[in-house]
Copies of this chain bind each other. A is one copy, B any other.
Amino acid sequence: MTIAQTARQARRASRQLAACPSERKNAALKAVRDALRTQSQAIIHANRADIEQAEQDNLSKPLLKRLKFDEDKISEACAGLDSLIALEDPVGKTLAATELDESLELYKVTCPIGVIGVIFESRPDALVQISSLCLKSGNAVLLKGGSEAARTNRVLAETITRAAAAAGLPDGWLGLLETRADVAAMLALDDDIDLIIPRGSNEFVRHIMDNTRIPVMGHADGICHVYVDAAADIPMAVKLTVDSKCQYVAVCNAAETLLVHQAVAADFLPKLKTELNAHGVDLRGCDKTRQIIDCAVADEHDWKTEYLDAVLSIRVVDSLEEAIEHINTYGSGHTDAIVTDDRNAAMQFMDQIDSADVFWNASTRFADGYRYGLGAEVGISTGKLHARGPVGMEGLLIYKWRLLGKGHIVADYTGAGDKPFTHNKLNKSYRM
């Protein structure tokens, strides 16, 4: 089957899935969970073959670790499916209800987006997570995982597809893509795919955006800031900066630039330097920073750089306004935190910083779907439409306007002697 045919089949399946009762979707999720257990030996066998190949190809230790899919991972995946089954069906929720006139009722009701294309990294557990999120939210999905995990992903996709079909799900709701050529083919199918979610490096996400007319929900850079205000509690500022920078340096919500109000710089920076030196962080500072602590030079280029490494750029600012201006100029709209005991300063920061996540006295590392309590995360969006920041299942939904009449025509509401609309808010959910 060509990718175009796979996508067309997914489109057809998506229309049935959109109208699929909750019970059947949950039965399918249970069947998938059971199948993962009964097929565990075949899955682990395929995963061992992927790992052997990856070892021969000299993949890095962290990548090998992410690739591994063993009994523990299968149990985790099954636990994830159980929590998803327990969640309320997100489809069919009434967002607004209005009486336009007597017996003419308008309902704004959630529905699936349709067909989602997801390109994800090497972890095979992502395949289970994403496909089950799509199933629960009534979306068909085309999946492309890391090529290192090809054997594991193939067995997982087959296991999920077979179990879901036996539970009455339409054929083709899950399509597995295996090559880069498949991805290139997918990007051209704007008639049959409604949304692409690319997970991976910035360059990769940009490449996808530049090569498709399909809307893309992806994250650009994560140039996150910690701003230590004049009214900051200094020990707290040290603790939050260390956590934001060091807790996990290779992720998008790690801090890359520290801004320090000049009133506290002389007190704060030497204390911070001691801690960051102990964590092996390479510091780069502006002129004013270097008058207080010894470090390398930071320039304009640093303010625009997502290091994803044990490097921190530091700038001393004269005011809260200068900090806000810096962040709105050089930041990437991801996550920015202020450390202060001054409520007004915090308010101003949180109102004026134009980022998906704005924090007061908390580490930037909290910007994450799991920590936010969203359940599984489909991605982190730095866009400003549809969904912003960590995106959970809600990001896979849109709505339909459903109008129920008794033969109402517009001609009666226009021109001479026209009837008025009542536009009464209705306090009830859509039901037919």
Contact = CB atoms under 8 A, between A and B. Distances in A.
A104 B360 CA distance: 10
Contact of A401 (B195, B213, B389): B389
A14 B328 CA distance: 11
Interface string A10-39: 000011101100000000000000000000
Contacts of A371: 100, 410, 413, 421
Contacts of A399: 388
A215 interface: yes
A409 B114 contact: no
A101 to B, nearest CB: 10
Interface stretch (A117-125, A233-241, A270-278): A233-241
A356 to B, nearest CB: 6
Contact of A361 (B15, B360, B383, B406): B406
Nearest to A113: B384
A384 B361 CA distance: 37
Given A371-B421, A372-B106, A409-B240, A361 B404 contact: yes
B398 A366 contact: no
Nearest to A399: B388
Interface in A207-251: 209-210, 213, 215, 217, 233, 236, 239-240, 242-243, 247-248
Interface stretch (A161-169, A305-313, A343-351): A343-351
Nearest to A424: B373
A424 to B, nearest CB: 9
A405 B243 contact: no
Name, among A194, A215, A398, the residue most crowded by chain B CB atoms within 10 Å (CB to CB).
A398
B363 A410 contact: yes
B243 A410 contact: yes
Nearest to A213: B209
Identical copies of this chain, number: 2
A413 B398 CA distance: 33
B388 A386 contact: no
A135 B355 CA distance: 20
A2 B411 CA distance: 47
A201 to B, nearest CB: 18
Contacts of A361: 404-408
Main secondary structure on A side of the interface with B: mixed
A189 to B, nearest CB: 15
A373 B98 contact: yes
A403 interface: yes
A354 interface: yes
Contacts of A348: 19
A357 interface: yes
Contacts of A405: 359-363, 366
A372 B213 contact: no
Contacts of A14: 354
Interface in A377-424: 383-386, 388-390, 398-411, 413-414, 421, 423
A87 interface: no
A410 B373 CA distance: 14
B404 A360 contact: yes
A179 interface: no
Contacts of A106: 372-373
Contacts of A84: none
17 contacts: A19-B351, A100-B372, A113-B385, A215-B215, A233-B407, A239-B407, A243-B411, A247-B414, A248-B410, A343-B432, A356-B400, A357-B400, A361-B407, A363-B405, A366-B403, A366-B408, A385-B385
Given A98-B372, A100-B371, 18 more contacts: A14-B354, A15-B324, A15-B328, A15-B354, A18-B352, A19-B352, A100-B373, A113-B384, A194-B384, A209-B213, A233-B407, A248-B410, A358-B403, A359-B404, A359-B405, A362-B405, A367-B401, A385-B386
Q: Which 10 pairs from chain A and chain B are nearest by CB?
A: A362-B405, A243-B409, A19-B351, A373-B423, A365-B410, A236-B407, A386-B386, A359-B403, A385-B386, A357-B401
